[in-house]
Amino acid sequence: MPKRPSVSLTVARGEKLSVARGGGLTAKGRAKYNRITGSNLKAPQKKGPRHDSFCARSASWSSERGLAARKRWGCK
């Protein structure tokens, strides 16, 4: 499998949110990441199968940024 290109996303350029604002990528950041890597990142969901799967996978996250992402997704 080929290595994906490196993507630099920053809060200053508006491509991701600060931890204080809930963490995670903005629409601009997702668009840039998808364009460079060919991925298909989507916005957080508050309910549904993607929400359930994310919350289950991230249950052990304890970093400040990880907890902010879980909060943004609405995980308990």
Determine what percent of the chain falls in helix, strand and coil, rounding each to the nearest 5.
45, 5, 55
Q: Within its chain, how far is the Cα of 60 from the centroid?
A: 16
Cα distance between residue 52 and residue 41, in whole Å: 16
pLDDT tens column, 3-50: 767 888 889 898 988 888 877 889 999 999 999 999 998 988 888 999
Band the pLDDT of 72: cuts 50, 70, 90: confident
The model scores a pTM over 0.85 = no
Cβ neighbours for 37, distance < 8 A, ≥ 6 positions apart: 4, 5, 7
